[in-house]
Amino acid sequence: MTSALFSPIKLADLALDNRIVVSPMCQYSADDGSATDWHLGHLAMLANSGASLLVVEATHVERRGRITHGCLGLYSDDNEAALARVVAHCRRVGTAKLGIQLAHAGRKASSQRPWEGGLGLKREDDPWETIAPSAIAFGNEWSAPRAMARDDMERVRDAFVASAKRALRLGFDAIELHMAHGYLLHSFMSPISNHRTDEYGGAAGARLRFPLEVARAVRAVLPRSLPLGARITGSDWTEGGLTPDDAVALAKTLKEAGLDYVCVSSGGITADVMRGGTGLDGRQRVQRIPLGPGYQVPFAEKVRREAGIATRAVGLIATAQQAEAIVAEGKADMIALARAMLDDPRWGWHAAQALAGEVKRPPQYARAAPKLWPGAAYRA
Ligand SMILES: Cc1cc2nc3c(=O)[nH]c(=O)nc-3n(C[C@H](O)[C@H](O)[C@H](O)COP(=O)(O)O)c2cc1C
Cβ-based neighbours of 221, under 8 Å, separated by 6 or more: 161, 164, 165, 168
Give, for 247, the enclosing helix (H) or strand (E): helix 244-256
DSSP state string for 31-58: BTTB--HHHHHHHHHHTTSS-SEEEEEE
Span 2-10, average pLDDT = 97
DSSP classification of residue 24: P
More confident residue, 251 or 375: 251
- Is residue 75 annotated as a catalytic residue, yes or no? no
* Statement: residue 282 has pLDDT above 90: no
In this prediction, residue 276 carries a pLDDT of 47
Nearest CA to 153 out of 128, 185, 179 is that of 185
* 286 — pLDDT class (breaks 50, 70, 90): low
Dist. CA 26 → ligand 1 center (Å): 7
User: How does pLDDT run across 60-76, given as a tens digit for each residue?
Assistant: 999 999 999 999 999 99
* Cα torsion angle, 48, 49, 50, 56, sign: negative
- Show the beta-strand stretches assigned E in 287-372: 310-314, 334-337
Whole-number Cα distances in Å, 68 to 63, 107, 111, 144: 10, 12, 5, 16
- Cβ–Cβ < 8 Å for 40, 27: no
What residue type is 248 in one-letter code?
A: V
Phi, psi of 66 (to 5 degrees): -75, 145
In this prediction, residues 29-55 reach a mean pLDDT of 98
Across residues 330-340, what is the average pLDDT? 98
Residue type, 214: V
The answer, yes or no, to whether residue 284 has pLDDT greater than 70, is no
The alpha carbon torsion through 116, 120, 125, 127 (nearest 10 deg) reads 150
Residue 107 confidence class, pLDDT cut points 50, 70, 90: very high
| pLDDT value, residue 371 | 63
Q: Residue whose CA is closest, atom 13 of ligand 1?
A: 25
pLDDT value of residue 374: 56
DSSP for 82-99 reads HHHHHHHHHHHH--SEEE
Q: What is the CB < 6 Å shell around ligand 1?
A: 23-26, 57-58, 101, 178, 181, 231, 265, 314-317, 337-340
Strands (E), 195-318: 228-233, 261-265, 310-314
The model's confidence at residue 33, banded by pLDDT at 50, 70 and 90, is very high
Q: pTM for the complete prediction?
A: 0.95
Q: Which atom of ligand 1 is nearest to 231's Cα?
A: 11
Q: If you measure from the C-alpha of residue 22 to the centroid of ligand 1, how many angstroms do you get, rounded to a whole number?
A: 9
- Work out the number of other CB atoms within 10 angstroms of the CB of residue 127: 17
Average pLDDT, the chain: 94
28, 183, 200, 261: which is the annotated catalytic residue? 183
Choice from 23, 56, 67, 335 to test ligand 1 binding pocket (greatest atom count within 8 A of CB): 23
Tens digits of per-residue pLDDT, 249-261?
A: 999 999 999 999 9
DSSP string, 107-158: GG-SB--GGGTSSBPPGGG-----EESSS--SSTTSPPPEEPPHHHHHHHHH
Average confidence (pLDDT) over 206-228: 98
In this structure, how many other beta carbons lie within 10 angstroms of the beta carbon of residue 179?
28
Ligand 1: centre distance to CA 380 (Å) = 39
Which has the closest alpha carbon to 133: 207, 66, 58, 61? 207
Q: In the structure, what pLDDT confidence band is assigned to residue 98 with cuts at 50, 70 and 90?
A: very high
